[in-house]
Structure 1
Amino acid sequence: MESVLLDTLKPYLDRPRWVVAFSGGLDSTVLLHALTRLKEHPSLHALHIHHGLQAQADDWQRHCKQFAESLGVSFHTANVSVDDCASVEDAARRARYAAFGDALNAGDVLLQAHHLDDQAETLLLRLFRGTGLEGLKGIPTARELGDAILVRPLLGLSRAELEDYAREHQLSWIEDPSNHDTGFDRNYLRHNVLPQVEARWPAYRATLARLASLAESALPEDSISNLTFHTRTSTWSALDLESLRSLDEGSRNAALRQWLSQTGLTPSLAQLQALQKSMLWSSADAEPVFELGEFQVRRFKEVLYITSLTPFDPSLELAWDGGSVLDIPGVGKLSAVGGSQPERFTVHFRRGGERCQPAGRAHSQRLKKLLQESDVPPWRRDRLPLIYLDGELAAVADLWVCADYAERLAEWRFVWEPAG
């Protein structure tokens, strides 16, 4: 318990006060007790909100005062009036937060004891009420509260874990009878619905907490525009790896989800983690390929690409006059514009040893060298159509016209649309 608290509260050790919202129930009792066991913490203060809604409210206030004092923690009660309205829960919440605002000083940390079960209940209630993405973020671990900050250090622990702690330390706490009134939506969910959910999906709490974390880290629409760019060798946008690495893990997941959504893919968290391990952290000279359904994610020179490559026949040889679209199965479409007279082209793929002197350059080079220098991704090189005239290489897709054929093909412009 202490290690969980410290993980969350370490950034707030230099604050003047930690003020615990202390109702006397199981959750806040465990929180207050566990805080006093920390080796290091600021001044602790227990704040009890007296709503006056139950006949036992005065007894609860006395219990809370005695418990806090037994731990050596200063104690204060704030009496509030709850408006008579349709939703007593909402009115009580508004009254509580008004009291918190009055009691807190600048720089204070208000600690609330919400836990994993509270998070799951909140998310489900919001779903049933038709929440948007903002609502799926659930209960935040921390947020600003005026000049103070509100922190919930138990949000990763279940109620069962808090009960185990309370039994181990022989703690007593208040049981509010209204918590069993199923006329309230949260209580109905807690007592009538979630036991059946747990019987079928025992890990639902962690699953819903993960959903909240994903929603919290989701990036706004089009927010990855500064990470992506379009290339002539891909149907889909490419993703800059250096920029991706600069993000925190949650933002990286969100950026990858947005980037992959252009294909209709919806990867799981496990797939995203495996993808990052393969693409972001493997050796610089590796050429990793990550399969996602019919698609692949590939890396080349600090850029991620999406491909959907299917088998093709590298020995294929096709006759073409340039007047129609040449559809090459599994590879793409080759077309031409501007030529006034048809030509007797032959189209095939690399076989090794090809050379071309691109028009305007002084020397010929091996095609392999040209493709490397032009940063054509490796998986595209063997799929580029090579255009021949009279048995000689005349053009390489839409990249270069070879100098010996520059005059003959001066009116021609080739257009290459790769598949996948």
Structure 2
Amino acid sequence: MTSLIDHLASKMQPYQGRRWRVAFSGGLDSTVLLHALTALAPRSPVQAIHIHHGLQAQADDWQQHCAAVCARLGLEFTCLQVSVESGASLENAARQARYQAFESQLEEGDLLLQGHHLDDQTETMLLRLFRGTGLDGLRGIPETRPLGAGLICRPLLALPRSDLEAYAREHGLEWVEDPSNSDSRFDRNFLRNEVLPLVSQRWPGYRGSMMRLRRLIEDASTAEQHCLDPLGDIDKKPFPIASLAMLNTAQQQRRLRRWLAGWQIVPSLAQLQAVQQAVSAEEDAQPLVQLAGRQIRRFQGHLYVTVLADFDPKARWRWDGAQPLAMPGVGCLAAEPGPGAAPLPFTVAFRQGGERFQPVGRPHSQQLKKLLQEAAVPPWRRARLPLIYVNDELVAVADLWVHEHWAARLQGWRFRWCPEE
């Protein structure tokens, strides 16, 4: 079926020469995408990445099936096992674990290709509509978006599932079926299995109508963005609350939705209103809004998106600085010795309260708590900063300060702190 191949070739033409990494579950969508890409493989190397969630009894069988498919196609196959934390939404937790695993595999310029199609797009738009989303939510699944050092691309998003089924039949493809897809207790399955077949009987062209709506929303959003965004691109940055001062409620919501979209967060109306309440809380308040596994916090006139994992505040490490020190749930501490600097017996720990410190250039020591407040370190980061000791003396605080009395004795050692947040 050449139409799907031609469509795919057109979509992938701008990305020739990059590495194409396919999110390969073994289902119909990713099987068709992977097979069709082999026709274009001379233009770019193709690799399949399979995520083993361990949530279904057939998970090992699916991995073996995917490995066999790639062997027949002569493609590189990588399987990544992830652990999914239990919680209110197992589906959301699995999605987060999956994307974290994908992100770990992407290098600069890589493409992660996914097999989402037009039916997926329509379901997503309707689900968000029923959950009370705004106009940005009704834009549905983006065709491309950044992920880590690479880019997610969904080249089949404009094609209905029936086109993928026809391609699979023509080429005799085999795929796996997830039995949970028939469980209509899940919202998407209920919509797909119970609601949309009835809608299709009454309005067979509903997919096209939904796509026209999406294009109108895109056009309106682009026009409004030019009117409302004198600050330019604020995605992935702390959100300046002052930018909302002259906007009405609807315009504030539009701006907040755009900012949250940069973090792949599509809030319901109730969640968005909770964020607005955080904006208007008292100055000394520390509001916290939970959204999609992340936290929205406010500090000194800005909103922040954080992802804070659990950590052991009593943990201590012996460290010589030769290799980066991974601190689970918190971040990674690295060091560079100065020329001729000797190894030192570092100990790394977290604040326990009552510490005093004298940064280079200060005439006397102060409470570390006061120094962190003065430096405008957000409150949620203060307990997670690594404190670096030598023989029980506090010599450095992350990469913020070195102690006045240790500046010479450290012989040029420099520290770099990369928080997991």
Q: State the TM-score, normalized to the length of structure 2.
A: 0.52
For 2:225 and 2:27, the matched residues in 1 are separated by 45
1: CA distance, partners of 2:180 / 2:225: 46
Secondary structure of the corresponding residue to residue 221 of structure 1: helix
Match of 2:9 in 1: 6
User: Does residue 211 in structure 1 map to residue 225 in structure 2?
Assistant: no
Letter paired with 2:101:
A
Given residue 143 of structure 2, which amino acid in structure 1 is its aligned partner?
T
Cα distance in 2, alignment partners of residues 162 and 12 from structure 1: 22
Give the deviation of 1:2 after TM superposition. 1.1
Partner in structure 1 of residue 28 of structure 2? 26
What are the equivalent positions in structure 2 for 1:282-297 lying under 5 Å apart? none
Task: Tell me the residue number matched to 1:186.
Answer: 188
Write the distance in 2 (CA, Å) between the matches of 1:124 and 1:209. Answer: 12
How far off is 1:14 after superposition? 2.4
1:195 aligns with 2:202: no
Task: After TM superposition, give the deviation of residue 72 of structure 1 in Å.
Answer: 0.8
2:48 match: 46
Letter in 2 for 1:42: S
SS at match of 2:226: coil
Q: Per-residue deviation at 1:90?
A: 0.4
Q: Name the CA distance, whole Å, in 2 between partners of 1:221 and 1:54.
A: 45
Q: Which residue does the alignment assign to 1:375?
A: none
2:59 to 44, 57, 60: 57
Residues 235-246 of structure 1: pairs in structure 2 closer than 5 A: none
Name the CA distance, whole Å, in 1 between partners of 2:191 and 2:56: 22
Structure 1 residues 238-293: Cα deviation after superposition (integer angstroms, max 9, x where no partner): xxxxxxxxxxxxxxxxxxxxxxxxxxxxxxxxxxxxxxxxxxxxxxxxxxxxxxxx
Q: 2:224 is paired with a residue of what secondary structure?
A: coil
CA distance in 1, matches of 2:225, 2:141: 25
Secondary structure of 2:68's counterpart equals: helix
Letter in 2 for 1:111: L
1:105 to 104, 107, 130: 107
Listed as ranges, the matches of 1:203-282 within 5 Å are 203-218=205-220, 219-221=222-224, 223=226
Specify the code of the residue in structure 2 equivalent to 1:223: H
Q: Partners in 1 of 2:84 and 2:211 — Cα distance?
A: 31
Q: Match of 1:70?
A: 72
Does residue 88 (structure 1) correspond to residue 109 (structure 2)? The answer is no
Higher-Rg structure is 1
Name the SS for the 1:54 alignment partner: coil
Partner of 2:142: 140
| CA deviation string 1:38-58 (max 9, x = no partner) | 264211000000000000000
| CA distance, structure 2, for counterparts of residue 27 and residue 201 of structure 1 | 25
Deviations 1:328-369 (A, max 9, x none): xxxxxxxxxxxxxxxxxxxxxxxxxxxxxxxxxxxxxxxxxx
Give the Å deviation of 1:70: 0.6
Structure 1: 5+ residue stretches without partners:
226-420
- Residue 212 (structure 1) shift: 1.9
Cα deviations by residue, 1:362-390 (Å, 9 ceiling, x for unpaired): xxxxxxxxxxxxxxxxxxxxxxxxxxxxx
The equivalent residue for 1:339 is none
Distance change (3 Å), C-alpha of 1:222 and 1:109: closer
Letter in 2 for 1:197: V
The aligned length equals 225
List structure 1 segments (4+ residues) > 6 angstroms apart after TM superposition.
Answer: none
Question: What is the rounded CA distance, in whole Å, between the counterparts of 1:58 and 1:190 in structure 2?
Answer: 27
TM-score where L is the length of structure 1: 0.52
Whole-angstrom distance in 2 between the partners of 1:222 and 1:62 = 47
Say if 1:99 and 1:39 are closer, same or farther in 2 by CA, change over 3 A. Answer: closer
What is the alpha-carbon distance in structure 1 between the residues aligned to residue 225 and residue 149 of structure 2? Answer: 33
How far apart, CA to CA, are the structure 2 residues paired with 1:55 and 1:164? 29
